[in-house]
Structure 1
Amino acid sequence: MKRLSKWTAVAALCAFSGAASADLTAAGTWTGNVGLSVDGIGSNLTPVGDVQAFVPVGATILQAYLYSAGTPSPWYPDSPTTLADYNGAGITLAGNIVSNFDTLVGAVSTRADIGAWYTARADVTTLVQSLTAGAVTDSFSWGVTEGSLNSRIDGQVLAIVYEHASLGLGSVALLDGGQNTGGETTFVQLGSPLTDPTDPSFAAQLGLGISFSCCGQSSTIQVNGSMLTDTAGNFNDGLQASDGSLITVGGIGDDPSNNVGYDMDDELYDLSPFLAEGDMSFSIFTQNPTNDDNIFFASLYLTGEITDIRPGIPEPQTYALMLAGLALIGAVARRRRG
């Protein structure tokens, strides 16, 4: 038997502690008088349809991302798999070509025939700022096209973070997906203890963006180990029940308290019942039992301070595991010397 050095063993323990790699990673967090607008659209029509936005008059746009969710490869060999594929497709928002996709959000199925999804994300902050400049309305509707990839993109999600003095203090986080369909866990770290979640002024909402889902295919979401939903999915924001149009995202027009059953679940959720006063973190577990849905995006709004998004087990537990491992290694060494 090979003899492990102390540091080799510690490295092994660290690797074990991080075995549940992140399915949700922070694209950005914002704290202050902040708000959130999220909407999606998908179809095989030309143009695809309109994506909605809600931005209060006088608000400052802090960030805007456009997510473009391609179908999986090798399921479809001509699915987009690179940033160049997306940037050269002729995707447009409000008539403006979007050719600055700079991030690929990968997700992997445990089914080899499905393969992987390569969702692209573009920073459209400047564009959205120009589209809302001088507006006298809160509500917007902008056309979307998908160019040469129309039938190989399930849809688009537009996420906007804004700041307005009329809003209460809170935090917004935008998260890139990329889950392994077999299940992964993410921890949300907070900067201060949560206030009472039963207070009417408290808010905690999770929105999910899911593509390539329909016809009973669904994902399971748990918060702090308790079931939030086992019916996340479907093509609520798609206009056709066909590949190239299968998209849903929790956001504008959705009800966080109305998620009973597959057809009613709109991917916007109230997290308050799963949180407790004094909490400094909470966990989100995502799993797709059919191994053919793509959770590519999530948004969080919280009456509190989100400071970090971490994969796997929380950092304090990681340290505890490492210390326990070192103690065990020390004990073994003492026995050998004896």
Structure 2
Amino acid sequence: MADLFAPLRLGALDLPNRIVMAPMTRSRADANGVPLDIVAEYYAQRASAGLIVTEAIYVSAMAKGYVRTPGLVTSEQVAAWKKVTQTVHGKGGRIFAQLYHTGRVALPDWLPGGVAPVAPSAIAINGTNQTDEGKKPFVMPRALETDEIAGVAAEYGQAAQRAMEAGFDGIEVHAASGYLIHQFLDATINTRTDRYGGSAVNRVRFLREAVESVVAVVGKDRVGVKISPRIKFNDVVEPDAEEVYPVVARELSECGIAYLHGARQGAYEVHNLRALFSGAYLAGSGFDFEKANDAIVSGTADAVVFGKPFLANPDLPRRYREGLDLAQPDQGTIYWGGAKGYVDYPAHM
């Protein structure tokens, strides 16, 4: 019987355990989206995870949505990520790049020429985004033209190619948290009347095209997708999630990808999709060791994704295996730009 410490064949990779490090934005890139040197140290410290999934990385200049977040667009960004993957591999780890486009979350402050962000429809988010000048209200996005959308989907594949050049082991496509792909899935955000709007199948179309563009570059056995139905973030509502997400699971099964990563936030029981998806299921959000191990033993999940516990516990798999105490992270330094609260958490003695 498998448990959290049993090895797992995940697509093309052999994982030594089923403890996955979640993608977590840490804002340790420079103004040009180039990861700082300490990013390599940060991920390498956590290389004992069965798999590391990086923080979200933007796929194009129009995709950046936050200050000090990294991209995979320029040669400088690729070179910096190559240092990260080489350092992680040198410690025996495995690392996927999580790729995203923020869509309407972006502000003109970070976009080429100060243009408006793009989205499925011209519907703005309520609230503000954080900038170095303080909080600024979200702006009205520009609805993508039908003939633009395939090109935006292709940007995921282009970024995946750059990720392979940087030495990543695979790609996680970010279809969660109210970013562009998720915006297409939600009928309260996507009010289109063309082939990308209306029915559940139509709203899933952009996700499938983005995934197919990545699969064409890296192979289906090195691709995963993250979803978070009804997450309470970025004005996500998804009134018909029960109709949309079975379509998501079936479409992704047809793509033959390695895994589906489901974040259990909101009212939707995302783990129920496992029966509809042919690959591995990675369960995320809110797990402690006992709940995670139970999920593996019961067969509810094939691996479990941990976020916050990895912040202050770089040696988390060992601490769980040996029953060691967990350190608590400094909440004030999660998005701060330096080494403090990032690479200065020690392994357990």
Give the TM-score normalised by the residue count of structure 1.
0.27
Larger Rg: 1
Tell me which of the two structures has the higher relative contact order, counting C-alpha pairs closer than 8 angstroms and 6 or more residues apart.
1
Considering fraction of residues, name the structure with more helix: 2
